[in-house]
Amino acid sequence: MSKKIIIYDTTLRDGTQGEQINLSAEDKLRIARKLDEFGIQYIEGGWPGSNPKDARFFEMAKNISLRGAKLTAFGSTRRAQTLIENDENIKALLNTGTETVTIFGKSWDLHARKILDVTLDENLAMIDDTIAYLKKQDREVIYDAEHFFSGYKDNTDYALKTLQAAINGGADMIVLCDTTGGTLPHELQTIMADVMPEIGVPVGIHAHNDCGLALGNSLEAVQLGATMVQGTVNGYGERCGNADLIAVIGNLELKMGYCCVGPEKLKQLTELSRYVSEVANVPPLNQRPFVGKSAFAHKGGVHVSAIMKSPESYEHIDPKKIGNRRRVLVSDLSGKSNIDYKLREMDITLGDNGYDSRDIVHEIKKLEDKGYQFDAAEGSLELLIKKASGQFEEPFILESFRVTVEKNQSGPSTSQATIKISVGDDQEITAAEGDGPVNALDNALRKALAKFFPHIKEMALVDYKVRVIDGSDATAAKVRVQIETRDAREIWSTIGVSENIIEASWQALVDSVQYKLSKEMNKN
């Protein structure tokens, strides 16, 4: 049987300390449910003694029932020269009602002397007293030895004394923290080899990514005997972030033979990453290992030809194991193999219209020379292939549109779009306002089509990008507009190219709508 590794998620606390990561109490509750559903064993909800939002989250959490995860409250040791019964931080921890609390204390003498401004003996007493008191309240106590590796390198004896103080207090687990993220793997290996025999309780690792080593250090710590890994979904966190639990779990389960959540839950890994990204309102990183959109994307014709024969020739795992999928990209680097693969993937058979895959490759390369980029716009690519093979019927026809922008001296600019479309024998004329000309045009198009195609209401814009293709013509330069759209099932990208940014945006918007409608037609 595979050895079990405990996963401790601190997305809701350490993750929110990252720049541009802001979660409401309601957001945190949604993510906590998702983490529990996925099979995470410990979910650190926040620091109730530090802010009202975390306190409210724990009040709300009292009304939910988690399937298997332990909700954990986080806080510091008691204040210096303070009776622990009177410490407001400790009271707030107990008021959460969680059966597990995580306490952090200073393992680096520099922090005790210069940051807390306490004696080294008082710092030890703060650790021991706090843990002992919480144990008397029947709490499971996890001790985070903050700055442990830095402290060990500066003052080995004192760093070990802080661990012993936590053990004397009754800590159920000691977590060694590389808080500054500056420890190299060979240093971690040496330090843990010295320290592990001195610790008589289970050990965890908490690594930051300031040197890009959080994942490597976390995996190395497990090899050296750590049974808990702390981190955040997608590696969110202060400065350069924390160990990314997505990559931690993927490597431990699929590469190292450990069990974190099991093979069935592992199939939800990609979904978890994207769900947290969506709630946090942070665009997913395409190149994220294991779960990124590009993690199993193939572009070069030689690569595609190889994976069609043997996927393991260019893929380290089967993407289905973690809920991701293989993607073959089409661009000016593509060959016939790329198109043949895409045709099978899209379930498209070239008809008797004289087109074959070589013709489509030629058409794509011609368009990419004009500024199109189909490897980043698979929605537009699918429409191109369907249209070229005679397997697409235009659901609507644009008769005309007009966009106006008005600006006066005192107020903000306003935009309005009027659009006229034909759907079969019917015509629709609609007007809408928007925050800008493209937004107004998008609103008008959706409004005009909703009467005929109710499914369009399921669509939501995810991202909108504009790129100048050649800046030599300044404001008259040709631009490429790429938009990402989503519904409840998938995300797709479409593209438009023109010297006129409104025209390029219109092309991308129309492709986005047509892609959605083509999927609905196929279902019917």
SS3 418: strand
- pLDDT tens for 426-473 read 899 999 998 888 889 989 998 999 889 888 888 888 888 888 876 666
Contacts of 440 (CB under 8 A, 6+ apart): 403, 415, 416, 417, 432, 433, 434
Task: Judge if 252 and 359 occupy the same domain.
Answer: no
C-alpha atoms less than 13 angstroms from C-alpha of 79 in its C-beta half-sphere: 9
Give 234's DSSP letter. G
466 near 477, Cβ under 8 Å?
no
pLDDT at 147 over 90: yes
For residue 470, the model assigns a pLDDT of 67
Count how many domains the chain has.
3
Give the span between the Cα atoms of 45 and 72, in whole angstroms: 6
Res. 35 pLDDT band, cuts 50 70 90: very high
Task: Judge if 453 and 378 occupy the same domain.
Answer: no
In sequence order, which ranges of 205-261 are alpha helices (DSSP H)?
A: 214-223, 245-254
Residue 78 lies in a domain: yes
For residue 379, the model assigns a pLDDT of 82
- pLDDT tens for 492-508 read 889 888 888 889 999 99
Residue 227 lies in a domain: yes
Q: State which of 388, 406, 438 marks the end of a domain.
A: 388
- Residue 500's identity, in one-letter code, is N
Contacts of 437 (CB under 8 A, 6+ apart): 403, 405, 415, 417, 502
Task: Judge if 308 and 440 occupy the same domain.
Answer: no
Residue 115 lies in a domain: yes
For residue 352, the model assigns a pLDDT of 54
Task: Judge if 188 and 96 occupy the same domain.
Answer: yes
467 near 497, Cβ under 8 Å?
no
pLDDT at 74 over 70: yes
- pLDDT tens for 42-52 read 999 999 988 88
For 463-518, give the secondary structure using H, E and C: EEEEEECCHHHHHHCCEEEEEEEECCCCEEEEEEEECCHHHHHHHHHHHHHHHHHH
Please name the helix (run of DSSP H) or strand (run of DSSP E) that holds residue 128, with its range, or none: helix 120-136
* Structure tokens belonging to residue 347: 């379930």
**Mean pLDDT over the full length of the chain:** 88
Res. 38 pLDDT band, cuts 50 70 90: very high
Res. 382 pLDDT band, cuts 50 70 90: confident
How confident is the model over 304-325, as a mean pLDDT?
86
Closest CA to 73 of 147, 12, 18: 12
Q: Is 222 exposed, middle or buried (0-12, 13-18, 19+ CB in 10 A)?
A: buried
Task: Judge if 377 and 246 occupy the same domain.
Answer: no
129 near 90, Cβ under 8 Å?
no
pLDDT at 150 over 90: yes
Q: Is 56 exposed, middle or buried (0-12, 13-18, 19+ CB in 10 A)?
A: middle
Residue 274 lies in a domain: no
Residue 306 lies in a domain: yes
Residue 276 lies in a domain: no
Task: Judge if 519 and 373 occupy the same domain.
Answer: no
Closest CA to 522 of 392, 341, 397: 392
For residue 207, the model assigns a pLDDT of 98
SS3 398: strand
pLDDT at 330 over 70: no
pLDDT at 408 over 90: no
**What is the extent of the structural domain holding 306?**
297-388
The overall longest dimension of the chain from CA atoms, in Å, is 86
pLDDT at 369 over 60: yes
CA dihedral for 21, 25, 30, 31, sign (positive or negative): positive
| Residue where the block lists tokens 């610790």 | 199
Give 111's DSSP letter. I
Residue 268 lies in a domain: no
Residue 458: give its domain's CATH number. 3.30.160.270
Residue 270 lies in a domain: no
Task: Judge if 115 and 243 occupy the same domain.
Answer: yes
For residue 221, the model assigns a pLDDT of 97
Give the span between the Cα atoms of 217 and 176, in whole angstroms: 11
Q: State which of 355, 388, 421 marks the end of a domain.
A: 388
Residue 52: give its domain's CATH number. 3.20.20.70
Task: Judge if 59 and 153 occupy the same domain.
Answer: yes
Q: State which of 330, 356, 388 marks the end of a domain.
A: 388
- pLDDT tens for 172-181 read 999 999 999 9
- Regarding pTM above 0.85, the answer is no
Res. 350 pLDDT band, cuts 50 70 90: low
- Residue 177's identity, in one-letter code, is C
> What pairing do the DSSP bridges indicate for beta strands 479-486 and 460-468?
antiparallel
Task: Judge if 516 and 437 occupy the same domain.
Answer: yes
Give the span between the Cα atoms of 397 and 395, in whole angstroms: 7
- Residue 14's identity, in one-letter code, is D
- pLDDT tens for 81-135 read 888 999 999 999 999 999 999 999 999 999 989 998 999 999 999 999 999 999 9
321 near 267, Cβ under 8 Å?
yes
| Paired residues of 72 in beta bridges | 44, 100
Give the span between the Cα atoms of 229 and 194, in whole angstroms: 19
245 near 9, Cβ under 8 Å?
yes
- Residue 460's identity, in one-letter code, is A
